[in-house]
Structure 1
Amino acid sequence: MIGQVFDTPDDAYEFYNGYAFLYGFGIRKCATHKNKTTNEAYLRKYVCNKEGFKDLKCDGSAGEAKKRRRDLRTACEAFIQISKGKDVKWSVDAFTSAHNHKLTASPTKVMKHRSHGKFHRSLVCKSLMLELGEQQKHYKGREFYGLIKHFQDKLLEDRDLYFVVDLFDDGSPRNIFWANGRSRNLYIKFTNKFMMPFAPFFGVNHHRQSVLFASALLENEKQATFEWLFENFLKCMFDKHPLAIITDQDKAIGNAIKRVFPKTRHRFRS
């Protein structure tokens, strides 16, 4: 975030508001500092909409008590600050991402924040929500939105992350493929260059879904190599032996399993 450059303060506001939409909070404009001589703004600050507290003591000009809504602010300190450089561009020179309140998880609730109201009414937003399945029955798109948001979050940390989603006509997900930057880099470095055998360890979670536990690139497919692999897998997994292992009908793998995992049930893949 630090060092991001924008042509105008409005561009910076839209950028931060888009970031806030993904993460589940609203924003508002907070402070503007101007040059006393030219009266031109040189610093601006946009904050989480839960920043500070409202002044509940002030009444109307005639002294009558004002009707007030419940104050929902929590003195949140999340913000972005931009300053104007000599090249007339605006750049981010301060940023805090930590919030002291629960973020909004549901997309439909996120759009109720005032800063997202205009976007919510736009054709772009309606099209996006249709793609995410927000109009479908039984909240089909809720989990899908969470998945897309997860990938968007990971993109901030890993610019080489790759993911693609194949959709049904109603906007619900059909196929999803992804690979992080490290995996893509390993594929280019080792798999293509050295043609090393790839050994993935897969398991099944409580939803009967496949889970990747670990991966390895091996020199060869000899028994000694598999024994080394299984021994290090065991060390990595806190010396917890697997209950069962399913492999191809390879004699070297079978012998290695008998030596390293003697109490594990070994079955061949049909």
Structure 2
Amino acid sequence: MEDVEDEPIDVLMESDTENITEFVNVVEDETSGGMGYKCLRWVCYLSMKKICITSTKKYAYAVGFPVKKRNSKKGEDGVLRYLTLTCSREGRLNGNTSSSLKPQPTVKMGCKARIAASLDILGNWRINAVHLEYNHETSPSKFRLYRCNRTLTAHVKKKLEVNDLARIPLHKSYNFAVVEAGGYENMTCIEKDCWNYVERVRQLRLGEGDAVAIQSYFSRMQAQYNRCRLVYKEFDDVVTFDTTYLTNKYDLPFAPFVGVNHHGQSTLLGCGLLSNEDTETFVWLFRTWLQCMYGEAPQAIITDQDRAMQNAIEIVFPKTKHRWCLWHILKKLLEKFGYHVDKGLIFGAIHELVYDSQLEQEFEEGWMAMINTYSLQQNNWLSGLYENRGRWVPCFLKITFWVGMSTTQRSESMNAFLDGYVHSKTLLKQFVEQYESALRNKVEKELQADFKSFSQMIPCATQFEMEEQFRSVYTISKFREVKEDFTGKIYYNVISTSEGSSKTTYNVRETIMYGGRCKRKNCVVSFVRNNCEVVCSCHLFEFRGILCRHTIVVLDLNNVTCIPDRYILRRWRRDVRRAHTRVPVNYAGLETTPA
């Protein structure tokens, strides 16, 4: 007899449909206690029907779990004699530790749900075993993303090959397939599958109404598009705003409002096309965007040093914390001091002050010492930076939540993302059409990340119960950051302790290795045992929303095994049902230009 392990179900559908049709015609005789209908839940929607294995996948699609053929046997005559179907999340779940520094996520959850049947000598199918309980959640909306349900049709494959020969970018080919299918929800594959297929094919291969249309489009989008509003309602804590990206041949700056979602991905919260970059224009844009967002100003915003932009923020968002992009400031050092005989020393001194100063006084004293050392008292640019040090120096801003950001890189990455859709010769009407395509792609990327965090888990790096606590609730991308803190904990040591009346203070030393050199820096951590409150002088938790290694060392030292809820942020959790994920993505495109 032939024994085939994990053969794709589709192969069975093509070759053994007639045999499997009889697979379900055995319910009442083979089960007891009213279990007949439940048994058929795995195979079909309605009991007592003779349906082939296709119904298994149809039902799995409706309920939201993946199915695979675990094993099967055929007789010498080629007739299928035995078949076992299982949930694809069947299999041993990896332990909490792994020898790999970057272990791959796994869908295996040890699920026992299965159904097994065999063909008897009379040619009748009999159910041998049924286990109906799942040990994981199910989700019909995510079912199409499971690997076992993804496939490239012959039509899509042909289109990909022809377009690749014509040097059409793959993302455009995929977007065409999405449009042709009537939306992402009707696709039987994801963009990664297309990439993989094209790569395999390559290996085998040898060798005017713009203004009216846009005004109509934006008016309609302001009124109808609720998803961005709901995303903003969930992630309104930090927004980056940047206007350095010129989108089209009219040189109109594209100004995106960008946030960060629960996976750490950039998410678009709105945008504008500006003909001017003065205070009046920015005030108009901010007020219009604020009106779209139900009048709720962001808690914090990151921009460059543009004075007009700063004035507008003070007018429209007076209570919003505003910081300047650190990268934009530091990149100007070469421009401002390229002529100076001590430019290298000045660069090094400024970088050290910016990144190593833990206290405001420490920065201020170091800055004055640098100014005096290199006789920079008359440098107006440095004087302006010092006067506004509360807008860009990390030690002045670290107690505010910035989602771990100190630059407008999110806006720039959004610009880079749009590079695949627009170019310098793009017309305005074409721009908004491509903008929709890019936005839809962003939504799909978030859905795929949701799916991974829903269906997969990565092993912990240690045996600490605290790490397991984060793994159970955080999205995969955020847990990876937590995991790095637990693995990096070995470079941190408590070197002194001071007992107070209500709290204990710990001096934690960090050893930093780089370029064969060793550098040490200290942080002070206070711990209140009664309520398990922990605060570190680095304030990394306040800045990025994930506990720092200094605090993990102290918590471990105090035998803390369960992290208080206040240190597990809702915005990073994978088990939160967020309103924007339940909004159908519906884009009607540009309206026809009125006659």
Q: TM-score, normalized by length of structure 1?
A: 0.41
Higher strand share: 1
Larger-Rg structure: 2
Larger RCO (CA under 8 A, 6+ residues apart): 2
Q: Give the helix-richer structure, 1 or 2.
A: 2
TM-score, with structure 2 as normaliser: 0.21
